[in-house]
Amino acid sequence: MSDLPRKAVTRTAKLAALPLGIAGRATWGLGKRIVGESAELVGRELQQRTAEQLFKVLGELKGGAMKFGQALSVFESALPEEVAGPYRAALTKLQEAAPPMPTRTVHAVLEERLGEGWHELFLEFEDKPAAAASIGQVHRGVWHDGREVAVKVQYPGAGEALLSDLNQLSRFSRLLGPLIPGMDIKPLIAELKDRVSEELDYGLEAQAQQAHAQEFTDDPDVVVPLVVHQSDQVLVTEWMDGIPLSEIISDGTQEQRDRAGQLLARFLFSGPARTGLLHADPHPGNFRLLPGGPEGEDDWRLGVLDFGTVDRLPGGLPATIGESLRMTLDGQAEAVYELLCAEGFVRETIELNPDAVMDYLLPIIEPAQVEEFTFTRGWMRSQAARVADPRSPAYQLGKQLNLPPSYLLIHRVTLSTIGVLCQLGATVRLREELEGWLPGFVPEDPADGEEAAEA
């Protein structure tokens, strides 16, 4: 396939085949159990077969199908290894590649958006795409001033495909739910739909990327390419080489994994504090490791790409997050519960035991309890199993908690980042980043307040 499948009938038929296949495999699984095979073994095999078909179909489609696949891909750490292993390669492929548009289509978009003389803007332009994603593909070129650039071209019909796919996927979200234990698929799809118009707007993306590029200019740890030119459906930025994070996950040294994990955590918490924006698409395809960190060429920096989805947080991350995290670590059950109620995490009609809430939260925030923490797939799986098992107290309590809309994207980005850290198997000094960048995590010094009042 060489172009975005724009006929709704074609796309719908491919996606509609997913629940039919899932239902068929469920019947097959029931038959296996009737003849005496272990329910656990049958369940795992069923999950594996379902996942393989899901990512095969999503990999063939761009638009919302691929977007959904990318969002799911960072949570593969939560799956049992015997299920995750066989299709991990397919997930990585989703993060980095998709079938390209024909050259004639690319040239037509460039001529329409940059003018008939678009070739004159470039000293060189490579027709073969360097990368492809859910709504556009990237071509390498040389701008007329000699700078190497990345030219992001949006697929014609991308908006319609995004919404069509996500609407179709939402219809059978309950069938897809068991793929990722402990994760509710329907709100994820709804949130992706809410972000469609923003992601299609390359003007907003250019503003967000330029804000980060300027803020992180000369930063020793993080690199963001500058925006060179932007028009409707075309975005030109400086080119950035480096090792894709997906390659670090599959083949990187432990030193590279730890460094990438530390910088990823740093960017997650420092970005909103420094720019008022939260990069909200943290899958490995959007990050690179570049040589030349603070310790010289043998050290590493984190390169960050794709600012099509951001959360606008003018004051940085909400102080409530830092305050509740700090009080949980201090064992202040009543205070934490009151804060969660005030912020809408506990509905007014529900009353919970504050100590039970603490029991629910403490395992999740284990990485913040120690000076450094090693994120592993095993740890992620244990957390997912704890909140997904209907027999677990954590499952029962989690069903009664609420996630206010203003925290939805922050929650997803944090979970996704933790998923990537577990894929890396990185040892990270997370508490150090929280103390440096998360509002409310370090209690205010009364003296500081007095000085501010005097000023």
Among the residues of 231-348, which ranges form H helices? Answer: 245-251, 254-275, 319-329, 333-342
DSSP-derived letter for residue 328 is H
Among candidate residues 309, 304, 144, the one with its CA nearest the CA of residue 240: 304
Q: What is the C-alpha to C-alpha distance for residues 42 and 39, in angstroms, rounded to an integer?
A: 5
Please, what is the angle between helix 185-194 and helix 405-424, to 10°? Answer: 110
Among candidate residues 210, 239, 208, the one with its CA nearest the CA of residue 122: 239
Q: Which amino acid belongs to residue 36?
A: G
Query: Look-up: residue for tokens 């997050």?
Result: 321
Catalytic residues: 281
Are 152 and 236 within 8 A, CB to CB?
yes
Q: What is the C-alpha to C-alpha distance for residues 374 and 367, in angstroms, rounded to an integer?
A: 8
Q: What is the C-alpha to C-alpha distance for residues 328 and 357, in angstroms, rounded to an integer?
A: 10
Are 199 and 309 within 8 A, CB to CB?
yes
Are 47 and 179 within 8 A, CB to CB?
yes
Q: What is the C-alpha to C-alpha distance for residues 316 and 413, in angstroms, rounded to an integer?
A: 14
